[in-house]
Each structure stands twice: as C-alpha cells, then as structure tokens.
Chains A and B, each alone.
Chain A
Amino acid sequence: GQNIDQPTEMTATEGAIVQINCTYQTSGFNGLFWYQQHAGEAPTFLSYNVLDGLEEKGRFSSFLSRSKGYSYLLLKELQMKDSASYLCAVIDSNYQLIWGAGTKLIIKP
C-alpha cells in the first residue's frame, strides 16, 4: 500500500528552528508538496519538490531525497503565527496525490 509518515505533533519555541520530517512509500514518485493548515481553515501551499536538494523560500525551506523516500520542512525564526498543521503530500506514478495525516506544530513563547 501507499504510506506517508509524519510525526503527529511537535513543539518548538518562538524564535527557534524546527524540522518536520516526512517519509513516504508510494508506487512511484512525481513530486512532493508541503501545505500549511491553520486550525479550522483550508490548507495553503508552501513548497513543491521534484528534484533532490533544498528549496529555500524565506523562513521556510524544503528538502527532498528521492532515494531515501524522505523530505523535511525547515522553519526558521519561528513566530507564533507558525502554529499550524503541516501536511506532506506525494504525487505517485499514476499522478494521484497521496496525503499524510499532518504534523501539528505548537509554538511556545
């Protein structure tokens, strides 16, 4: 079967750095997304990786290793507004989008 694993919950301190990991076992790979979802709201796009390496976008960076079936989202200079769930999603060989259950990030002052 197809599986995407993320930690259920993480806690970090305001101003710090946090890394949210995502590992996947899917039938093929055609790209990986990270979305941010605040409680009770719709997910919003953060990043898309299709090649190995690090993609940086402001305070957020996303890394992909296709050989390891692994990605992480790195959040720097954490702010209280970063408290949200972070969803990892993979496009499989049939171009279906497979979603992880999400990681709830709690930021403490």
Chain B
Amino acid sequence: SQTIHQWPATLVQPVGSPLSLECTVEGTSNPNLYWYRQAAGRGLQLLFYSVGIGQISSEVPQNLSASRPQDRQFILSSKKLLLSDSGFYLCAWNQDRDFTGELFFGEGSRLTVL
C-alpha cells in the first residue's frame, strides 16, 4: 500500500534562519507531488507541484523553493525565513494531475517563525 511521510512534525525557527521540510512517498512510482500551506481561516494554498524528477512548478512567488531529487522525494526549503512563513505545511501526492483522483496528504509540519 502507498504511504506518505513528512518531517519534522513541528519546528520553531528564528527569522532569517534556513528551512528544510522533507516528504517521501512509498508504494508508488512517478507520483505527482505537492506542497501546500494552510493558514488559519483560509483554504489550502498550493505552493509547488512536481510531475517528475527535477520538474518543479511554483504557484506563488515567495522566498520558498522546492526540489525533487528523487522520484518519491520532495523537499521544501528556504534560505531565510520570514515571520509570514509561519503555518501548517502539507505534502501530498496523487496519480492524476487533473485532480480527478484522491489527494493523499502527509502528516503535516507546523512551522513557527519567531
């Protein structure tokens, strides 16, 4: 069966520090991978998606970046965090790029920037 894991679950970082969130998928090949941010009172915001190794599409211009070094690994990074980067980050995968299939989410990473 397919599983998705992301880590760390919780982190508190000072403004200006770097960030690295990792996500891995098991039990499937060539998944579409996504990074979302969820802010209180707002819908899930798509940050990046990837349809294959090294292929990254950015939905929102910001100081975050994403990479996909392996088929089932997706990384969210920042060189210098801002206060506004605080939030709940979710990694997700599916097989259907048109979203007609279910999205499977990782456990989430709660980021607090102080």
Task: Report which A residues bind B (CB closer than 8 A).
Answer: 4, 8, 30-31, 33, 40-45, 48, 50, 87, 89, 91, 95-102
Structural contact, A41 and B98, CB atoms closer than 8 A = no
Structural contact, B41 and A8, CB atoms closer than 8 A = yes
Set of chain A residues within 8 Å of B46, measured between Cβ atoms = 96-97
0/1 interface trace, chain B 28-56, chain A, CB 8 Å (1 if under): 00000000000001111110000000000
A31 to B94, CA, bound (A): 16
Q: Is B105 an interface residue, CB under 8 A from the partner?
A: yes
Supposing A41-B108, A42-B107, A44-B105 touch, asked if A31 and B44 sit within 8 A by C-beta, the answer is: no
Structural contact, A97 and B103, CB atoms closer than 8 A = yes
Set of chain A residues within 8 Å of B104, measured between Cβ atoms = 45
Structural contact, A101 and B110, CB atoms closer than 8 A = no
Supposing A40-B110, A42-B107, A44-B105 touch, asked if A95 and B44 sit within 8 A by C-beta, the answer is: no
A44 to B107, CA, bound (A): 10
Structural contact, A91 and B102, CB atoms closer than 8 A = no
Q: How many A-B residue pairs have CB under 8 A?
A: 55
**What is the number of residues of chain B that contact chain A, defined by CB distance less than 8 Å?**
20
Contact partner of B98 (CB less than 8 A), chosen from A4, A45, A87, A95, is: A95
Set of chain A residues within 8 Å of B62, measured between Cβ atoms = none
Structural contact, A30 and B100, CB atoms closer than 8 A = yes
Set of chain B residues within 8 Å of A100, measured between Cβ atoms = 43
Q: Shortest Cβ distance from B22 into chain A, in angstroms? A: 15
Structural contact, B43 and A87, CB atoms closer than 8 A = yes
Supposing A31-B99, A40-B110, A42-B90 touch, asked if A99 and B43 sit within 8 A by C-beta, the answer is: yes
